[in-house]
Amino acid sequence: MPRLRLSTTASYYDGEFDSDCADVLSPGGGDVYGGGPGNPGGPPVYERLDIKAMAVDQVFTCRWLADGDGYGLRGELTWAIDRASSIGLSAGYREIEMDFGEDYSNTTFGLSYRHRF
């Protein structure tokens, strides 16, 4: 019975992602609704950048749905303790690059115990 298993996954993401637009509302950053310091007299920023949706709130200040793409990599090493139990270690990395707005990346680590009944 093989006791170790290594698995890897690579992913590509393309579509609409939630992004930060707080810098657009800040002084010198422009005005989301048009005519601000960074956008004198022009159309609203969200129209020029093909923003799909926007929300302003007290927690996140400003979020919008914008196009982007990215990739993810993940690996897992599983060790079989016996016929019904195993321990797994995993690690992953994901990066999303926005067409406009903040880019995102995150790293995850995991430790798991599995038992089959």
pLDDT in tens, 71-92: 999 999 999 999 899 999 999 9
CA distance 42 to 29: 14
Q: Which of 105, 106, 101, 104 is nearest to 52 (CA)?
A: 101
pLDDT of residue 48: 58
Do the Cβ atoms of 107 and 95 come closer than 8 Å?
A: no
The two structure tokens encoding residue 52: 């799909």
The answer on pLDDT for 116 being more than 80 is yes
Residue 95 structural domain: 4-115
Higher pLDDT, 65 or 105: 105
Domain total in the chain: 1
The two structure tokens encoding residue 100: 């406009």
Do the Cβ atoms of 23 and 45 come closer than 8 Å?
A: no
| Beta-bridge partner residues of 2 | none
